[in-house]
Amino acid sequence: MSISRRQFVAGSTASLVGLTSRNALPRALIADGEPWYATMRRCGQLNLNERDALTLDVAGWIAYWASLELDALLLNGGGIVAFYPTAIPYHHKSAYLGSRDLFGELVTAATARSMRVVARMDCNYAYEDALQAHPEWFERNQDGAPRRHNESTWLFRTCMFSPYFSEQMPAIYREINERYQVAGFFTNGWPSTGALSVCYCENCQQVFRAKVGGVPPQQTDATSPLYRKYYDVYMDRVLEIWRQWQAVVTERGRASVYVGNLGGGIRTVKNVRRLGEVAAWFNADHQGRSGDTPIWDCAQQGRVAQAVMSGRTITNVTGSYANSRITWRHVAKPAAETILWMAQTTASGMVPWFHWLGGAPEDNRWRAVGRDFYRWLAQHEPHFRNRRSIASLAVLYPQRTIAFYRSGEPAGGSSEYLQGLYYALLDGRFLFDFVHEDAIGPETARRYQALLLPNAAYLDDEHCQRIREYVGAGGSLLATFETSRYTGWGDARRDFGLADVFGVTAVGETIGPLPNSYMRIEQRPHAIFAGFEGTALLPGPENRVPIRAGGNHSAPLTVVPNYPAFPPEMVFPRTPQTNEPAAVLREQGGARVAYFAGDIDRSFWRSGNPDLAQLLQNTVRWLLRDAPAPVSIAGDGIVEAFAWETEPGYALHVLNYTNPNMTRAFVRRFYPIGAQHVRFAVAPGRRISAVRALRAGQALRFGQQGAIVEFDIPSVVDYEVVALT
């Protein structure tokens, strides 16, 4: 704990090899230099339906996609339905195909317009003739019945542990690769990052007998030792199949690539860090939002993907159709929603992938939306070639907590802690990155001044040790609620795994949910209480861990236990003052540590109470010792910002979320915000010669003193990108 930041960063990384080696590209993909998809910046997809084989206008469609100046176009090859005259048994050819080779026509036309084609495949379902001939290919219910698609009931679900994945799909890839000039293959819906399913087919029963021990359970339950073993076996199979398919598509020596279907935003179950071991290209099939999902859901997806891909290719699909809580596949979503989704994609460092379903659309409002945005991207392409993020603040992506924490939580409940912290950071206009819990290492200490842990309840001992080393190297830390209270699988510890770092001891079980609780300000003046001069009380979190502070550590906030909120006659504190800490602050060498015993992040997300947001923001500033941020943006409105070092210089992306539909889909129009004053730190010795707003298409006046460049963005309508060169 006494080593310096420099010693930690320069020290031996032998213990980190198991994690850091996962970022390496497969050797076959880098042998001849940078792969083609590493420089791709615009991607599109026409998702065919079976009947399109009758009348699809190939020339018209390819002309449209070429007008977007695409680098790559996704087109249906096969899997569920073959759009070419396949010779593979039980590979269902479109009933409307006749003598036509629709896929071949599309590939020829696209490549003639200098667009690479990636074959869009579906490995998840097959027809009944395949079921009759190869019953071993298919998933089974507990009663042995094959699993039908819930809408298209003539289709049956295939099993990942069966030869369908290891034999049938590779045969289809080889056939397409031999016949057509394709640059890659993408599988719809597989492997995803969602929850694991349990299959009862003979293949899976054998897997359980041989590798897990036991029989397939009725439910996926992280508290079950059987499920924990199955999780690892399942992930191993995903990686095995991914590697096999990548090897198959490169058998002919092409710089081809296999691309899996990932995504999920911040709500993931399968380990995205492990998927990053094999994904040369991470495609997030995160097409839009519905209901009360906040608008920044796409930017969060970008942050998650960046946390596991270390600068390698990331795409994100934007569905141009209305993928709301009620889905309408053949009408367009509002243009403003689509534009802001694509803007978040590019701002967060992903490559946009624009998607339409069906070859004969009657609603064509979406066409101009994609074309206009993509042409603007092409016009300014060098400024979207990012080299690195310049953020100095990191937020831990606590995947095990997101995936497994408190199985009784409502859907999405385990992500509310991260969501609350995220919103507070946006409101405070902080620049930050995500760091995956498996990726904490010397690089974290070198790049980030502070690391924020939003209720990372499930952490293995190894994770705790890496965090401990980060603090020992001078990195500051914020943690909330049950962070490190459990192992990575959720087994309770006697005390916090990071008790020594927090300077506290847990003295009881978690308390809550209890409304109408408070926190009493005990120490003034203090930086974390800026703006609270008129009150002695702050709103308390709904849940908390009872703690005792160790040593002489500061407890500037204490707990005021909850009391009745109704009726008014009963609303008074029974215990107005206690010695129980609500927060503990400590300094250790060059590091500062702040621990909040309650779920103030989740309580903020659920309540929207600005006091909780301000308390979090003040605490982050205290952790950073009020040091100037790499980028500061002053002005009105709710914005999200990303700042990148680019090939030509630097780029600042500012997303305008100021909208009545910010937390309710869909955005229908934009509400421009006024002038934003920017202070941007460039590398020492770097002279900036021009500052230009790319969306507005205008040069901005600026001044530079030393490494600091200052300028005003006159207005932000939807999205602005400022290039510094």
**Dihedral in degrees, nearest 10, Cα atoms 132, 133, 134, 135:** 20
DSSP string, 384-397: G-EEEE---EEEEE
Q: What's the rounded mean pLDDT across residues 216-236? A: 89
Q: CA-CA distance, 661 to 670, in Å (whole number)?
A: 10
- 1 vs 652, higher pLDDT: 652
Q: How far apart are CA 364 and CA 704, in angstroms?
A: 47
DSSP element (H, E) containing 102:
helix 102-112
SS3 437: helix
Q: Which distant-in-sequence residues (6+ apart) come within 8 Å of 566 by Cβ? A: none
Of 470-474, 568-572, 625-629, 633-637, where does mean pLDDT reach its minimum?
625-629
Give tens-digit pLDDT for 192-224. Answer: 999 998 999 999 999 999 999 988 877 788 889
Q: Rounded distance, CA 84 to CA 93, Å?
A: 7
Q: Which of 19-28, 398-407, 619-628 has the highest mean pLDDT?
A: 619-628
* Confidence at residue 29, expressed as pLDDT on a 0 to 100 scale: 38
Q: Note the pLDDT tens digit of each residue in 582-615.
A: 999 999 889 999 999 999 999 999 999 999 999 9
Query: What is the average pLDDT across 185-189?
Result: 97
Instruction: Give the whole-number percent of the chain exceeding pLDDT 90.
Output: 90
Q: How confident is the model at residue 325 (pLDDT cuts 50, 70, 90)?
A: confident
The band of 3, judged by pLDDT with boundaries at 50, 70 and 90, is: very low
Per residue in 670-695, pLDDT tens?
999 999 999 999 999 999 999 999 99
Asked which of 14-23, 361-370, 524-533 is least confident by mean pLDDT, the reply is: 14-23
Residue 368 has pLDDT above 60, yes or no: yes
Residue 11's pLDDT is what? 36
Q: How far apart are CA 668 and CA 672, in angstroms?
A: 13
The answer to whether 244 and 283 are in contact (CB under 8 A) is no
User: In the structure, what pLDDT confidence band is assigned to residue 125 with cuts at 50, 70 and 90?
Assistant: very high
State the angle between helix axes of 365-379 and 58-67 in degrees (0 to 180), rounded to the nearest 10.
40
Percent of the chain predicted with pLDDT > 70? 95
Residues 704-711: contacts with CB under 8 Å, at least 24 apart: 707/681, 707/682, 707/683, 708/679, 708/680, 708/681, 708/682, 709/679, 709/680, 709/681, 709/682, 710/677, 710/678, 710/679, 710/680, 711/677, 711/678, 711/680
Instruction: Quickly count helices (H) and strands (E) in the chain.
Output: 22, 33
Confidence of residue 15 (pLDDT cuts 50, 70, 90): very low
Q: Is residue 120 within a helix (H) or strand (E), and if so which, with residue range?
A: strand 116-122
Q: What is the pLDDT of residue 31?
A: 41
Spatial CA neighbour of 43 closest among 387, 267, 282: 282
CB 576 within 8 A of CB 393: no
Work out the average pLDDT over 235-241: 98
- Cβ-Cβ contacts under 8 Å for 114 (sequence gap 6 or more): none
Q: What is the mean pLDDT of the chain?
A: 93
Residues pairing with 703 in the sheet = 710
Backbone phi and psi for residue 544, each to the nearest 5 degrees, phi listed first: -155, 160
311: Cβ–Cβ under 8 A, 6 or more apart, which residues?
A: 387, 388
For the segment 484-501, the average pLDDT, to the nearest whole number, is 97
All domains of the chain in start order, with CATH:
5-11+391-623 (3.40.50.880), 36-123+161-194+253-379 (3.20.20.80), 631-724 (2.60.40.1180)
Residue appearing with tokens 């089974």: 140
Inform me whether the pLDDT recorded for 448 exceeds 60: yes
On whether the pTM is more than 0.85, the answer is yes
Handedness of CA 606, 548, 501, 271 (dihedral sign): negative
Following DSSP, what letter does each residue of 188-239 receive, concatenated?
EEEE-SSPPP---SHHHHHHIIIII-S---SS--TT-HHHHHHHHHHHHHHH
249 versus 21: the higher-pLDDT residue is 249
By C-alpha distance, which of 620, 602, 612 is closest to 402? 602
Alpha helix stretches (DSSP H) within 5-88:
5-10, 17-20, 27-30, 52-55, 58-67
pLDDT at position 13: 31
Q: What is the pLDDT of residues 375-399, one digit of tens each?
A: 999 999 999 999 999 999 999 999 9
Ramachandran category for residue 69: left, alpha or beta (phi over 0 → left; psi -120 to 50 → alpha): left
For 527-579, write each residue's pLDDT tens digit. 999 999 999 999 999 999 999 998 877 789 999 999 999 999 999 999 999 99
Are 446 and 420 within 8 A, CB to CB? no
What integer pLDDT is reported at residue 412 of this predicted model? 62
Per the DSSP assignment, residues forming a β-bridge with 313 are 281
Under DSSP, the state recorded for 334 is P
Whether omega for the bond prior to residue 398 falls within 30 degrees of 0, making it cis, is no
Looking at the predicted structure, is the pLDDT value of residue 479 above 50?
yes
- Could you give the CA distance from residue 14 to residue 559 in angstroms, rounded to a whole number? 44
Helix (H, G, I), strand (E, B) or coil at 650: strand
Mean pLDDT across the stretch 716-725? 98
Contacts of 399 by beta carbon, 8 Å cutoff, 6+ apart: 268, 271, 272, 273, 436, 437, 438
The winner for highest mean pLDDT among 11-25, 221-235, 488-502 is: 488-502
Axis-axis angle for helices 416-427, 610-623 (nearest 10): 80
pLDDT digits (tens, 9 = 90+) for 50-96: 999 999 999 999 999 999 999 999 999 999 999 999 999 999 999 99
- Distance, in Å, from the CA atom of 245 to the CA atom of 546, rounded to the nearest integer, reads 51
Cα(276)–Cα(171) distance, integer angstroms: 25
Q: Please determine, for residue 725, whether its predicted confidence score (pLDDT) is greater than 60.
A: yes
Q: For residues 136 and 145, what is the distance between their CA atoms, to the nearest angstrom? A: 12
Is residue 464 within 8 Å of 498, Cβ to Cβ? yes
Give the residue among 120, 71, 76 at the shortest CA–CA distance from 102: 76
Rounded to whole angstroms, the Cα distance separating 641 from 635 reads 13
Question: Would you state the pLDDT for residue 713?
Answer: 98
* Beta strands per DSSP E along 254-410: 257-262, 281-284, 313-319, 321-323, 327-332, 351-357, 386-389, 393-397
Q: Angle at CA 20, nearest 5°, toward 17 and 25?
A: 120
Q: Which 3-state string (H, E, C) describes 592-624?
A: EEEEECECHHHHHHHHCCHHHHHHHHHHHHHHC
The residue that leads in pLDDT, 254 or 106, is: 106
Question: Smallest Cα–Cα separation from 588: which of 718, 719, 500?
Answer: 500
Q: What is the pLDDT of residue 552?
A: 75
Helix orientation angle between 225-249 and 169-179, rounded to the nearest 10 degrees: 20
The H or E element spanning position 653 is: strand 650-656
The token duo for 74 is: 């996704």
Does the pLDDT of residue 234 top 70, yes or no? yes
Instruction: State the DSSP string of 669-715.
Output: S---B--EEEEEE--TTPPP--EEETTTTEE--EEEETTEEEEEE--
Cβ-in-10-Å burial (0-12, 13-18, 19+) of 561 comes to middle
Strand order in the sheet with 719-724: 386-389, 639-646, 650-656, 719-724, 691-693, 698-699
Query: Helix, strand, or coil here: 399?
Result: helix
